[in-house]
Amino acid sequence: MHKCLSLLLLLLFFINYAALFQRSVSDHIWQKVEEKNLKSDILCGLPYQGIPLATYLSTKHDIPMLLKRQTAKTYGTCQLFEGHYQEGDRILLIDDVIMTGGTLIKDIPVIEAEHMHVVGTVVFIDRDQGGTERVKQNTGKETYSVVTLPDVFKYLLKHNKVSQSQIDTTVKYLCDNRFDTEPSKAIRLN
């Protein structure tokens, strides 16, 4: 278990360098948006790591941004959403990682209850633990990722940053802790 944790801490290392993270990661997310031809009127970064990514993209590409809070404030505007939107707006969700898909499964219906249309979600890393499949199954919406955890493992192994043993231990842990019911979709490095 400690080897799994050390690998995940290595991934979190990148998050601590905000300027590099926002520029590089956000630009890769935007490339995926363009590759998938996702057209939206508004960007919405999911709390909390998706917010700085969406903020950067909103500013760089001059696309309005909607802030969706985890819960409505009990003071001030008392709103769940901050920003201007109208019925029929196309919303593109942005986040850093998908694991279980629980946030999207919970948030997509809330956004669509406001009569906005979620065109999809783009995340930087798919941990390949069933979240993408769960989101599709529960909401009908696609989630696209820039990289998957197996991609990260291959890169780290190729550059001698981790050992095959560390990857094997981590992959076993992740396969044993998937959040869907199809073990046949377990992480594969081939």
Q: For the chain, which residues make up each domain, given as ranges?
A: 2-179
Residue-level pLDDT at 75: 81
Contact 81, 128 (CB under 8 A): no
Mean pLDDT of 55-65: 95
Residue-level pLDDT at 172: 84
CATH architecture of 2-179: 3-Layer(aba) Sandwich (3.40)
| pLDDT tens readout for residues 90-134 | 999 999 999 999 999 999 999 999 999 999 999 999 988 889 999
The span from the CA of 122 to the CA of 95, in Å, is 7
| pLDDT tens readout for residues 16-48 | 555 555 568 889 999 999 999 999 999 999 988
- DSSP-assigned letters across all residues of 18-70: HHHIIIIIHHHHHHHHHHTT---SEEEEPTTTHHHHHHHHHHHHT--EEEE-S
Q: How many CB atoms lie within 10 A of CB 152?
A: 19
